[in-house]
Structure 1
């Protein structure tokens, strides 16, 4: 595994996950950062630039051009390797499995050799120092890049992943992760574990806004991101992708809850 240390970043740091081929959300995030005077060297992406939406190559090129630090999510790893699926480990026949086959095949068809080579060179984990504390940044887990980690998981899971991270990077005071799509701030027995959320898909909460994290003054908070949802939906329609994730951009609810713990599932009758 490749580890890259970004050095000392004492001013505000913006951390975001999963652009998910949603160029409208990515452009909105970059505009937010520019308005907040956050330089590219203080922006960190937890991976999965490419996924559900309709502008995979545009997102890769925009992230590259932005100068933000990026680590490899499972989607980058799989696309770089020319693999047949996204590597999320969805069970055969589930809605997630069916829908991932469509968007992954489209993303695969859009990637250039330059994009794949860039993805192949991305680090697996990042570290940086902020106001006297050292942060480790990963995608899903260290033991499994596509591990779904949620706030409701037992401390033992956080402890195992924390130990695996420190075996690679040395001691850290806090961890920032992505992949699961649901943002949270959890104080574990080892220290704070933050999921920065994703910007390309809403967090299954019934609203179209997505999420990212801002580290400011030594404190982490989750921020809302509004963007051109209709534009993202139009890109997906043009790409010929199934309607399920396109509709999710607007409804705020995922088309499948297969990967979610019971506590995060929402009955259809309860959805607005």
Structure 2
């Protein structure tokens, strides 16, 4: 395993807002900042699990908004790839799947718009962020430590969580809870060593047929998932203006991803689970 870049935020007192995947959805990120202000949570207690840039139409502006807000960021695969001037997003989609084919469109837009200084910021992002809250030590990662683009679902096998937990602790020492992102589905799961929290993403609905996206708040040992309302029509318009009309723009409206082949069968819509 390569050397893991680790940032320790120390003790965070008060509610902590956890979120993932702004996905170039500037309007969703701006709505999140408004929601955080409504909850009286400052940027110093907000942590993003990565993939600031992805499917939507405002990659450069979303990065600028993140920078201006001063939110802590864990590097996602999109940050890694853009920082390296790579030719694809490194999302971990199987070659030839619909998600793999669609990713080429938005990645090309992002790769054109993102500046070198923004890539430098992405390249400086840590692989793991840790903090202490309520006497518990938390680690924040993107997908996994063994594979940054690993899709870990609420229904994944126990050994998947155990293996990643061991990898986190090999890198930064014992932790009580792990916060992750990448998969786009918010959930918590009790594991052998502690609780695994996926904070969800704010840039795309969690494949549930609704337009609202999700973020999580950690407070006094409890994790609550919150819905995020934002200006979907303006976000769709930004995608259309950028030429991103391959399917993710309609996902913002329908609440369903343009392809379910990235999902395990047990998380697909029933009519498609056997496809």
- Normalization by structure 1: what TM-score? 0.97
Aligned to 1:39: 42
Alignment of 1:97-112 (within 5 A): 97-112=100-115
Distance in 2 of aligned mates of 1:156 and 1:190: 12
Matched positions, count: 270
Distance in 2 of aligned mates of 1:91 and 1:37: 41
Distance in 1 of aligned mates of 2:156 and 2:68: 36
Following superposition, the deviation at residue 88 of structure 1 comes to: 1.2
Gaps of 5+ in 2: none
Distance in 1 of aligned mates of 2:268 and 2:100: 18
Distance in 2 of aligned mates of 1:20 and 1:267: 27
Aligned to 1:258: 261
Aligned to 2:251: 248
1:237 is aligned to 2:225: no
Deviations 1:44-83 (A, max 9, x none): 0000000000000011010111011001000000000000
Q: How large is the RMSD of aligned CA atoms in angstroms?
A: 1.2
Runs of 4 or more consecutive aligned structure 1 residues displaced over 2 Å after TM superposition: 267-270
Following superposition, the deviation at residue 242 of structure 1 comes to: 2.2
Distance in 2 of aligned mates of 1:219 and 1:77: 31
Where 2:247 maps in the other structure, the secondary structure is helix
1:200 is aligned to 2:194: no
Where 1:141 maps in the other structure, the secondary structure is coil
- Normalization by structure 2: what TM-score? 0.96
Following superposition, the deviation at residue 92 of structure 1 comes to: 2.2
Distance in 2 of aligned mates of 1:87 and 1:8: 33
Aligned to 2:73: 70
Contact 1:99/1:242 (<8 A) preserved: no
Where 1:240 maps in the other structure, the secondary structure is coil
Where 1:180 maps in the other structure, the secondary structure is coil
Deviations 1:111-160 (A, max 9, x none): 10110111111100000000100001000000000000001011111010
Contact 2:102/2:246 (<8 A) preserved: no
Distance in 1 of aligned mates of 2:270 and 2:133: 41
Gaps of 5+ in 1: none
Distance in 1 of aligned mates of 2:16 and 2:92: 31
Aligned to 1:152: 155
Aligned to 2:212: 209
Deviations 1:210-262 (A, max 9, x none): 00110011211111111100010000000001240000001000011111111
Alignment of 1:87-106 (within 5 A): 87-106=90-109
| Greater displacement, 261-270 / 48-57 | 261-270
